[in-house]
Chain A
């Protein structure tokens, strides 16, 4: 089974609103990453948060990590139509090559 689970599965908001999506994982991690995927395209790395960090910002993105609850959240502020995409959390196995992707949240931003 997948290590990362995400909610909501789908989210529809108006342009300018904030979008929050959540991710839970099952095992110990060194870091957690978030990726974006436009429809039918490859994934693009957005942001990485290390296990000793609680919060990280990058532009309009804010990521939090709670290792005690094994959960993370991605907040996109002041959303734009161009943010319409699927967002996946990803947790690399410690000491290995394998990365497990969460189920993903499909975000639709209406102009």
Chain B
């Protein structure tokens, strides 16, 4: 299985809502990533988990809270988001010693 899955595909939420994005891979990859991508822009790194531990937080606001419950699963908990947080959120993973990242299809998030 060489696939990274993300749910939901689309999410619309109000600024007072709490929601979560989910990412899953079964390739045995021990590094997992969250990226944020605005329209016509490249992906911007948000968080990196390595061996289920947070390795990189790119100064992301605390209204975004990542979680890595196990080596296959990565969550991004959302709370009190702003309209400018509307974007495509991409999850990716890569294996130890590998170079390429495998990306999920993304979650299109709209904050009203």
Q: Number of B interface residues, CB 8 Å?
A: 25
Q: Find out whether the CB atom of A42 lies under 8 angstroms from the CB atom of B105.
A: yes
Of B88, B99, B102, which is within 8 A of A92 by CB? B99
Of A99, A102, A103, which is within 8 A of B101 by CB? A99
Q: Find out whether the CB atom of A42 lies under 8 angstroms from the CB atom of B106.
A: yes
Q: Which of A11-44 contact B (CB under 8 A)?
A: 31, 33, 35, 40-44
Q: Find out whether the CB atom of B100 lies under 8 angstroms from the CB atom of A48.
A: yes
**Total A-B residue pairs with C-beta atoms closer than 8 Å?**
52
Taking chain B's interface residues, is the majority helix, strand, or loop, or is none over half, making it mixed? strand
Given contacts A40-B88, A40-B108, A97-B48, A45 and B101 within 8 Å (CB-CB): yes
Q: Within the complex, what minimum Cβ distance (angstroms) separates B104 from chain A?
A: 5
Taking chain A's interface residues, is the majority helix, strand, or loop, or is none over half, making it mixed? strand
Q: Find out whether the CB atom of B42 lies under 8 angstroms from the CB atom of A97.
A: no
Q: Find out whether the CB atom of B43 lies under 8 angstroms from the CB atom of A101.
A: yes
Q: Number of A interface residues, CB 8 Å?
A: 21
> How far, in angstroms, from A8 to B8 measured CA to CA in the complex?
33
Chain B residues, Cβ within 8 Å of A98? 45, 48, 56
Question: A2 on the interface (CB 8 Å rule)?
Answer: yes
Q: Find out whether the CB atom of B104 lies under 8 angstroms from the CB atom of A42.
A: yes
Q: Which of A70-111 contact B (CB under 8 A)?
A: 88, 92, 97-99, 101-104, 106
| Interface set of B (CB-CB < 8 Å, partner A) | 4, 6, 31, 33, 40-43, 45, 48, 50, 55-56, 88, 90, 92, 99-106, 108
Instruction: Provide a sorted-by-A list of 7 A–B residue pairs whose CB atoms are within 8 angstroms.
Output: A42-B4, A43-B90, A45-B101, A48-B100, A97-B50, A99-B45, A103-B42
| Interface set of A (CB-CB < 8 Å, partner B) | 2, 31, 33, 35, 40-45, 48, 88, 92, 97-99, 101-104, 106
